Every structure is written in C-alpha cells, then in structure tokens.
C-alpha cells in the first residue's frame, strides 16, 4: 500500500465501448437454460463483463444440483432462498438463505438442494466461461421458473458424454464423489 495518495497509480481511462448491463432475471430476452433438473438464467455473461466474470441465477429443484466436479475458476454463491448443502473436499456444509459460499478454484465440490422447496442462488464465476458451457450443454426454456425437460435414459446417455466432452474445453473436470 502506498504511503501517500500521490504514489497511487492513476485510475485507468473509461472504456466507452463497454455498456452498462441491467438484467431482470425474469426477462424473456435472457438465456434461461434447463440443465439436469434445474434452471439457470444467465444475467451477466462474459461478453457483458469483458470476460472478467459471469452471473447465473440458479433455480435448484429439491434434490437437484450438479454431481462432483472441479474447475480452474472461482465460484461464489449468494443463497437467496431455500437450503443448499455444499460438499467441499468431502465435507458437507449446510447453506441457508442469506449465506455466501466461495469455492476456490480447483477444489473438488458439489451442491445439492437439501430442502423440500426449490432453492435459488446467484452464482458468480470468475473469470467467465461457465456461462458458455451451460449454453452448450443445457436446453433453452422459456422462463427463469420453467422446469427443465426431464431426460429419459436415452437422453441422459447422450447428455453425459456431451457434457464430459465440453467440460475440458471450459476448464471443468467432472469426477467421482467429492
């Protein structure tokens, strides 16, 4: 930390080419994605943030959430509604509405809605990229609250290799129990 304000570097110039992003999560123009029983809405994409981060509004059904995985980007969750259990390096941490959870890059983790009602969380990934992964593996749905289509056994058999194939491109590793 500089001893005197005059030793601080100047604030960089504005980037007029970048615009303000204002997203209402229920807006029809946002990408709403059904993904293995949950619905994710991208409210700020990597394109909106110069690749610095992305923001995803997640509606997680009871018992829902991804299996064990890890990735080389930070992931922060702001739990708005419900109960989500986070498993981090094989230890379970219960999260309730109002909690903030940060998962460091490269750490094995997963989360699961532990309640009987849908849970809602805001997920911030830094840097961005997870937004594009979800767009490629998920199924578009009309709204933030639309339940995703249920995958039958054949569709799940197609989904898993597709997700695993794209995971590496998007710096994510799908794995066994966390």
pLDDT at 158: 82
pLDDT, tens digit (0-9, with 9 covering 90-100), for 66-114: 989 899 999 999 999 999 999 999 999 999 999 999 999 999 999 999 9
Give the start-end residues of each E strand in the chain.
32-35, 38-44, 54-60, 69-71, 74-81, 83-88, 91-96, 100-103, 109-113, 119-126, 139-140, 172-174
pTM to 2 decimals?
0.87
Tokens of 146: 């639309």
The band of 3, judged by pLDDT with boundaries at 50, 70 and 90, is: low
Lowest-pLDDT range of 14-28, 52-66, 75-89, 157-171? 157-171
Domain limits, the chain: 39-142
Residue 50: the pLDDT is 94
CATH 3.40.50.720 fits 39-142, yes or no: no
Highest mean pLDDT among 2-11, 18-27, 37-46: 37-46
């Amino acid at each position: 930390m500089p001893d005197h304000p005059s030793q601080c570097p100047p604030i960089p110039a504005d980037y007029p080419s970048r615009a303000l992003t204002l997203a209402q999560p229920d807006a029809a123009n946002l990408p709403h994605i059904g993904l293995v029983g949950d619905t994710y809405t991208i409210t700020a994409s990597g394109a909106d943030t110069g690749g610095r981060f992305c923001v995803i509004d997640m509606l997680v059904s009871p018992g829902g959430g991804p299996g064990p995985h890890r990735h080389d980007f930070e992931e922060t969750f702001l739990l708005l509604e419900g109960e989500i259990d986070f498993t981090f390096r094989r230890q379970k941490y219960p999260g309730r509405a109002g909690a903030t959870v940060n998962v460091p890059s490269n750490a094995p983790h997963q989360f699961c809605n532990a309640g009987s009602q849908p849970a809602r969380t805001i997920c911030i990934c830094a840097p961005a990229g997870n937004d594009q992964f979800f767009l490629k593996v998920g199924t578009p749905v009309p709204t933030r609250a639309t339940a995703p289509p249920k995958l039958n056994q054949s569709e799940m058999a197609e989904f898993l290799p597709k997700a695993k194939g794209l995971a590496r491109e998007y710096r994510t590793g799908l794995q066994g129990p966390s």
